[in-house]
Amino acid sequence: MYNLEKNPILLPHQVSILKRFFSEPIAQSFFLTGGTALSAFYFGHRESRDFDLFSMEEFSSSQIEALFRDIAQGLGGNRCSKSWNKYV
């Protein structure tokens, strides 16, 4: 298994978010893609502030939103956008 804590691109709070997300049964069909995945696991060319998560299976967006809300609150974060699922 990949050791996220030793990743030079991901910030500590990003590692915490990913670990908590992927520890949940509902998240097992998801995978990290996009710029964060490329930078963190392949190129190391830049910092990233967001996660692009995809699943090949159907999922409940409201359950995923609730999961991220719980993760953010557990880490002392708050939702900062009403039109996007953005937490800080």
pLDDT in tens, 37-78: 877 777 777 777 788 889 989 989 889 989 988 998 898 887
Residue 42 placed within a domain: yes
Q: What global pTM score does this model have?
A: 0.77
Tokens representing 49 are: 């502030």
Residue 87 placed within a domain: no
Count of domains observed in the chain: 1
Residue 37 placed within a domain: yes
For residues 81 and 87, the model is more confident at 81
Q: Give the domain range for residue 19.
A: 7-74
Distance between CA atoms of residues 33 and 25, nearest Å? 19
Residue 16 placed within a domain: yes
Distance between CA atoms of residues 78 and 13, nearest Å? 13
Give, in order, the Cα–Cα distances in Å from 27 to each of 5, 10, 48, 70, 80: 20, 19, 21, 14, 23
